[in-house]
Amino acid sequence: MKHISDPDHTINQRLHKLYPPKIAELAVNDMIDLIFKYKHRIISKEYHLSQKDVILITYGDQVSHHHEASLQTLKTFMDKHLAKLINSIHILPFYLSSSDNGFSVVNYSVVDHHMGSWREIETISAEYRLMLDGVINHVSQYSDWFKAFLGCDSYFKDFFIEVDPKIDLSEVVRPRSSPLLSDFVDCEGKIHHIWTTFSRDQVDLNYKNNRVLSNVLDALFYYIEKGAILIRFDAIAFIWKEIGTKCVHLPQTHELIQLMREILHEVAPEVIIITETNVPHRENISYFGSGDDEAQMVYNFALPPLLVHSMLQSNTKTLTSWAKTLTLPSDKVCFFNFTASHDGIGLRPVKDILSDDEVDMLVQSIEDHGGLVSYRAEANGSQSPYELNCSYIDALTHPDENDDIRIKRMLVAQGSALVMPGVPGIYFHSLVGARNYHYGVRSTGLNRAINREKFNIDWLENELAIEGSLAKTIFDKYKHLISIRINEKAFSPFAAFRFYKSDERLFVVERISNDAKELILAIHNFSNEKVSCDIPESISFPLQDLLMAHKVINSHQITLEPYQMMWLKGKINGPLS
């Protein structure tokens, strides 16, 4: 086996692509030291994705109880309600932070004491597969690293990106409308113009400095030591900067991700890298790399806005046409499917899928539903809608519509995401049917707070105990869908898939188990009308409707009630085409 210091070792080669020879050699030695350090501290575990993998997306302080660490309260809630259904949990940044709900990290290795400690994290990881955030594009302006930089500590020289404000940066792709450069004064009174992609409180790291890479990898290894199996690379598309380019999706960015994956896998080959790149779909899926060298999972960012668009139009033509283009470069990678998250519903992912008029209609609908819209700066100085800020259930329904419609639309959207090829991620708020949180917006001034409400556990438990309430109805029906999904081999993340063009009010997905012995035809009615659907001739009868207590279907044509779903299980009639 080749040693990392060998010139033909992949890690060595990647480091030499990113750095000048002398710096690359120093970086090689740093990587050897890191790997040796954690080889003796991390016990590698075998881990393979299957249909049983469902990931809850939640804040560490999502639920709270008086005088109890919120991470402990969260685990208690999961143990009581979700333990046999959801095996994985993505805990959004619980590290010491100064803003942005955890994404302005002050210290990568310190847990916010309001949530608990690493003891609570390790307790959770003992029973649930743990997904943690690698917030590695930037750190807080109050971090020890940045304070040392402003304190003129030579080790931290060039840890951050300083740019002469006279340089033309208009071509840089902006995800926000805030200034790209922020001014800071060091211990000697010198002004530094520092690159801040997302906000003044989020200063970008400079990966052209090999010490940045070493320190970041040390933090990621520490997360793995504490139980992380999945690591989400936050805002990774912007991580490498080159003046004179758009500073997004650069070749060095992909090279850096591939390098970090290889280094982490030297110690923990089971770790799964998930890239978060809220960008147009074609750019997003580039992070699969060749299918075995970059991200193992990529956020399916186009799915959330397309589901909302389809529901509001009662028409799935665009959704189906897009879905039919989905391909994967290998059987080692898959999509991470979700409908809602701590962020808004991104619009950039559908830039080449929905027309400008359709986006405008979507923006108008969200505002009519009580939601908000966030904008980003364009190169020409204009602003364009960047994301829709709205709880997912309110995105799908107007406030004047009744809860019966609200529940049905929400479940059709969530059911559609559950049958998509890949692994489902379920945002806590969607699971309990949380509505727009306008008080949060007023109190923080942040649009994204509209879908980030935190709950007192006693209040939430009471809501989930009230028969017929919105929260309990969504919660129970959602859990029923999950209970079916995790027991069907055809829903494996790597199982074959096919999308059918049918009546444009229907979204029809076929999933075929890896052994080709079972299939599920999942049909979703996105309209408030009865719709007929023909069963493809390639499918044998009888079929069992998994959502209707295994009701048997023998007819070549079926009719779905308004907003009805059918997950029909059967066998393949003849060889696969």
Query: pLDDT tens digit string along 347-391?
Result: 999 999 999 999 999 999 999 999 999 998 787 778 889 999 999
From CA 277, how far away is CA 263, in angstroms rounded? 22
Instruction: Report the number of distinct structural domains present in the chain.
Output: 1
The encoded tokens of residue 120 equal 């609570």
Neighbours of 128 (CB within 10 A): 22
- The domain that holds 539 is classified in CATH as 2.60.40.1180
Give 44-71 as a 3 state SS string: CCCCCCCCCCCEEEECCCCEEECCECHH
Report yes or no: 95 and 46 within 8 Å, Cβ to Cβ: no
Residues in the chain: 577
| 202-204 and 539-545 beta bridge pairing | unpaired
Report yes or no: 347 and 305 within 8 Å, Cβ to Cβ: yes
Lateral strand order in the sheet of 372-377:
345-346, 383-389, 372-377
Nearest CA to 180 among 238, 233, 98, 236?
238
Per-residue CA distances from 116 to 59, 131, 346 (Å):
13, 17, 31
From CA 345, how far away is CA 355, in angstroms rounded? 17
In a domain, 553, yes or no: yes
In a domain, 122, yes or no: no
What is the residue-wise DSSP string for 187-199? Answer: TTS-EEEEE-SSB
Report yes or no: 129 and 230 within 8 Å, Cβ to Cβ: yes
Nearest CA to 286 among 318, 251, 242?
251
From CA 281, how far away is CA 351, in angstroms rounded? 8
**pLDDT attached to residue 576:** 47
In a domain, 128, yes or no: no
Alpha-carbon torsion 391, 381, 356, 320, what sign?
negative
From CA 217, how far away is CA 273, in angstroms rounded? 13
Question: Is 164 one of the annotated active-site residues of the chain?
Answer: no
From CA 363, how far away is CA 387, in angstroms rounded? 9
From CA 419, how far away is CA 430, in angstroms rounded? 17
**pLDDT attached to residue 376:** 86
Q: Tell me whether the omega of the peptide bond preceding residue 20 falls within 30 degrees of 0, making it cis.
A: no
> What 3-state class would DSSP assign to 307?
helix
Nearest CA to 248 among 350, 357, 171, 163?
171
In a domain, 503, yes or no: yes
Report yes or no: 568 and 560 within 8 Å, Cβ to Cβ: no
- The low-confidence residues of the chain, meaning pLDDT below 50, are 1, 576-577
Give 105-138 as a 3 state SS string: EEEEEEECCCCCCHHHHHHHHCCCEEEEEECCCE
Neighbours of 170 (CB within 10 A): 12
Report yes or no: 298 and 336 within 8 Å, Cβ to Cβ: yes
Nearest CA to 434 among 420, 454, 419, 405?
454
Catalytic residue from among 234, 343, 503, 545: 234
Report yes or no: 248 and 173 within 8 Å, Cβ to Cβ: yes
In a domain, 293, yes or no: no
Residue 532 structural domain: 492-572
Report yes or no: 377 and 383 within 8 Å, Cβ to Cβ: yes
Determine which helix (DSSP H) or strand (DSSP E) holds 297, and give its type and residue range: strand 297-299
From CA 423, how far away is CA 50, in angstroms rounded? 8
* Residue type at position 9: H
Report yes or no: 299 and 237 within 8 Å, Cβ to Cβ: no
Beta-carbon contacts of residue 8 (< 8 Å; ≥ 6 apart): 2
This prediction's pTM: 0.96
pLDDT, mean over the chain: 96
**pLDDT attached to residue 574:** 57
Which residue is listed with tokens 């907003």? Answer: 563
**pLDDT attached to residue 237:** 97
> What 3-state class would DSSP assign to 370?
coil
